Structure 1
Amino acid sequence: MTELLLAAGVAGVAPWQLVGFCFLLFSLATVTVLAASGVAGIGVLFGLMAGFAPIVMLRGRATHRRSTHAAMWPDAVDNLTSAVRAGLSLPDALIQLGERGPDELRDPFVHFGHDYQSSGRFHQSLDLLKDRLADPTGDRVVEALRIARDVGGGDLGRMLQSLSSFLREDQRTRGEIESRQSWTVTGARLAVAAPWIVLLLMCFQGDAARRFASPTGLLILGGGALTCVVAYRLMLWIGRLPAERRILA
Structure 2
Amino acid sequence: MTGFAFIAAGAVGVWLISTPGRDAVSGTRRMPRAATTQLRAPAQTLRTALAGVAAAAAGWTGAWALFGGGVAPILVAVLGGAAPLCAATQRQRLRARDTWRAWPRLLAEIRVLVAHRGQSIPAALFAAGIHAPAGMRPGFSDAARTWSLSTDFEASLRVLKASLADPTADAVCETLLAAHQIGGVRIDARLRALAEAAQAEAAARSDARAKQAGARFARSFVALVPAFMAVIGLSIGRGRQAYESADGQLLVAFSVLAVTGCWLWAGRIMAVPMRQRVFLQ
Above 0.5 in TM-score? yes
Q: Secondary structure at the match of 2:41?
A: coil
Matched residue, 2:61 = 32
Q: Deviations over 1:90-142 (max 9, x none)?
A: 3212221134x445455532342233213433333222222332322112212
Matched residue, 1:75 = 105
Matched residue, 2:205 = 174
Structure-2-length-normalised TM-score: 0.69
Q: In the superposition, relative to structure 1, how do residues 239 and 98 fare at CA in structure 2: closer, same or farther (>3 Å)?
A: closer
C-alpha displacement of 1:74: 0.4
Matched residue, 2:87 = 57
Please tell me whether residue 129 in structure 1 is matched to residue 129 in structure 2.
no
Q: In the superposition, relative to structure 1, how do residues 238 and 50 fare at CA in structure 2: closer, same or farther (>3 Å)?
A: closer
Q: Which amino acid aligns with 2:226?
A: P
Q: Which amino acid aligns with 1:129?
A: L
Q: Which amino acid aligns with 2:101?
A: A
Q: Structure 1 segments of 4 or more deviating over 4 A?
A: 102-107, 200-205
Aligned pairs for 1:234-249 (under 5 A) are: 234-249=265-280
Q: Which amino acid aligns with 2:41?
A: V
> Which runs of no fewer than 5 residues in structure 2 stay unpaired?
1-36
Please tell me whether residue 226 in structure 1 is matched to residue 257 in structure 2.
yes
> Which runs of no fewer than 5 residues in structure 1 stay unpaired?
1-10
Distance 1:28 1:230 in 2: 21
Q: Which amino acid aligns with 2:53?
A: L
2:224 is matched with which residue: 173, 184, 193?
Answer: 193
C-alpha displacement of 1:77: 0.8
Residues 19-28 or 64-73, more deviating: 19-28
Q: Deviations over 1:55-96 (max 9, x none)?
A: 222222222222222222101011112233244323212221
Please tell me whether residue 20 in structure 1 is matched to residue 52 in structure 2.
no
Q: Which amino acid aligns with 1:139?
A: D
Residues 195-204 or 52-61, more deviating: 195-204
Structure-1-length-normalised TM-score: 0.77
Contact 1:22 1:52 in 2 (8 A): no
Matched residue, 2:23 = none
Contact 1:136 1:245 in 2 (8 A): yes
Distance 2:168 2:232 in 1: 45
Contact 1:98 1:109 in 2 (8 A): yes
Please tell me whether residue 84 in structure 1 is matched to residue 86 in structure 2.
no
C-alpha displacement of 1:165: 0.8
Q: Secondary structure at the match of 2:82?
A: helix
Matched residue, 1:163 = 194
Distance 2:272 2:48 in 1: 29
Distance 1:162 1:224 in 2: 52
Residues 105-114 or 61-70, more deviating: 105-114
C-alpha displacement of 1:236: 3.3
Distance 1:62 1:80 in 2: 26
Matched residue, 1:142 = 173
Distance 1:94 1:204 in 2: 63
Residues 13-22 or 168-177, more deviating: 13-22
Q: Which amino acid aligns with 2:93?
A: T
C-alpha displacement of 1:34: 6.2
Q: In the superposition, relative to structure 1, how do residues 58 and 23 fare at CA in structure 2: closer, same or farther (>3 Å)?
A: closer
